[in-house]
Structure 1
């Protein structure tokens, strides 16, 4: 995919208290106030005259200069420019396009190239909780339009590109998860059961009882205190499709549980072919959970 580029990147507030957010996002337009701005002079690009007009209105040279900077950004931006805003916990972005329209209340509206988007070019949702604070702090701007200081970061995110630092961290994390799988296979069945228990505990689950014990099969009963959900877990060192199918039959009789987990570290079972009602945690997903739970050091010490 082609990387997202921009000659400039601006943040814009869509109305006082977000009054124009819904309309702008739905209609694919950019709404802009500054009703007192002289449209003819702005359209002509006579910014010295615009500043004089705003100076007469504001009575303050600094305020007039700031006003002109924002008005000029709105009027002069073209399809090479990106505007961003934040609505409902999402970052939206667009490219301005077409003529500026003056509405009946003297506010402004202009179309966008292809509407507002809340995803990267690869389709990843741009949720605010997964964006850098360096970008999010632009929301503290008290005016209407301002430059985005974290423009390079934004363009990388929109392009689904990683910074060198993040790419290096992901490579190291991937290597760690790859190494975790053979380490899990070195555990005794008792220690593998303990590892699974620790993983679930780190997610808030609490062991209620240990239902069964054989050398290769350990069933656990868990409860999630926050919701009172109950889970039935079967832990197997080595798993096969036949064992999974047998487990699925057993689940039909286990009506007291809200969730069922089938956990294993050895054996080839497609994790996307789970029987109805069964959540499958095979080697790959389990390795991810070990790393996320911070249990890789515990695992290394167990098998050292």
Structure 2
């Protein structure tokens, strides 16, 4: 085998860089009349992760041209002929002789080339670009040489049917932070392509399906929030003030003034340390539109504040916020419950209600 012209298979490190041109479901720019659109739900025969070049150097090209670019000197004429004939043992032997790698590594390289070459379009390929998981199916046909004018580059590519996509069937972006570690750890794979162990979860996620565990967790969270709203409305006025104080402090605000007191309008005097933004919080257990209007009037007379949080848990009528452009924010019992849950003080509410 005369291939292996200095090729070093992709190693770990892939640094995502640059900004992609679109963020929603990415339609490919390269299609032909024989292309088959991706229909949901997808049901791939295999699911594989692929690293697009050492350090991610082929990511943007692959994304913009709707291709999967592949190394291992897969466009070398001799290697390509051996792939056509399915002589994977000779491919393996070529790696052993020409690169001096171990038998295990040579077998791995041959198997990765086989997965790429023999894919008939029923393998789901996934990769990470710009901190998003992208996926696609390959069109039929043999790999093509990626850079015919460069005698030192014998990488190849295959076209991705309808291009790479980065959103699930419901249109939700598949960001790295929204995926579990069983999926995100794929980007640490040191070679080029491997099977995805948690393939069932990933396929369901792309199809827009939630696991039973996630459904149960969502339901439990919804029920907890509903219960917290009821308990919050039962709190003593002083306890409600303390709760609101804790919620804002845990959210990053710094309290400059004490809770309550004799001041007629201001219950909490707040500052955001990073931006120095000043705000105050008016806390009312029970309120009305008339009270809100009066508080807003006082707020507008205080020029050093940029925001008013009007926090309440019960109102005699539905409050209407006509001052959003002036920085007025209404915070009802439902929002207080959410803040309490996210800041980890739900137990405090429950304990106060026993």
Q: Aligned partners of 2:270, 2:108: CA distance in 1, in Å?
A: 60
* Residue 71 of structure 2 is aligned to residue 24 of structure 1: no
Q: Aligned partners of 2:43, 2:329: CA distance in 1, in Å?
A: 41
Matched with 1:295 is 345
TM-score where L is the length of structure 1 = 0.88
Q: Aligned partners of 2:251, 2:291: CA distance in 1, in Å?
A: 26
Matched with 1:278 is 328
Matching residue within 82, 89, 93 for 1:41: 82
Q: Check whether the contact 2:268–2:281 (CA below 8 A) recurs between aligned residues.
A: yes
Q: Aligned partners of 2:184, 2:130: CA distance in 1, in Å?
A: 13
Does the C-alpha gap of structure 1 residues 22 and 220 become closer, same or farther in structure 2, counting only changes over 3 Å?
A: same
What are the ranges of 5 or more consecutive residues in structure 1 without an aligned counterpart? none
Per-residue deviation, 1:270: 7.3
Matched with 1:163 is 211
DSSP 3-state at the match of 2:92:
helix
Counting only pairs closer than 5 Å after superposition, residues 119-138 of structure 1 correspond to structure 2 as 119-138=167-186
Matched with 1:152 is 200
Q: Aligned partners of 1:89, 1:271: CA distance in 2, in Å?
A: 40
Q: Check whether the contact 1:218–1:236 (CA below 8 A) recurs between aligned residues.
A: no
Matched with 1:74 is 116
Give the number of aligned pairs: 304
Matched with 2:129 is 87
Q: Aligned partners of 1:150, 1:81: CA distance in 2, in Å?
A: 15
Say what the alpha-carbon RMSD is for the aligned residues: 2.8
Q: Check whether the contact 1:230–1:258 (CA below 8 A) recurs between aligned residues.
A: yes
* Residue 267 of structure 2 is aligned to residue 219 of structure 1: yes
Which segment is superposed worse, 249-258 or 192-201?
Answer: 249-258
Q: Check whether the contact 2:241–2:259 (CA below 8 A) recurs between aligned residues.
A: no
Deviations 1:169-204 (A, max 9, x none): 221121111100111111122211110001111122
Does the C-alpha gap of structure 1 residues 143 and 211 become closer, same or farther in structure 2, counting only changes over 3 Å?
A: closer
Ranked by relative contact order (alpha carbons within 8 Å, sequence separation 6 or more), the top structure is 2
Counting only pairs closer than 5 Å after superposition, residues 195-206 of structure 1 correspond to structure 2 as 195-206=243-254
Does the C-alpha gap of structure 1 residues 174 and 272 become closer, same or farther in structure 2, counting only changes over 3 Å?
A: farther
Which segment is superposed worse, 122-131 or 207-216?
Answer: 207-216
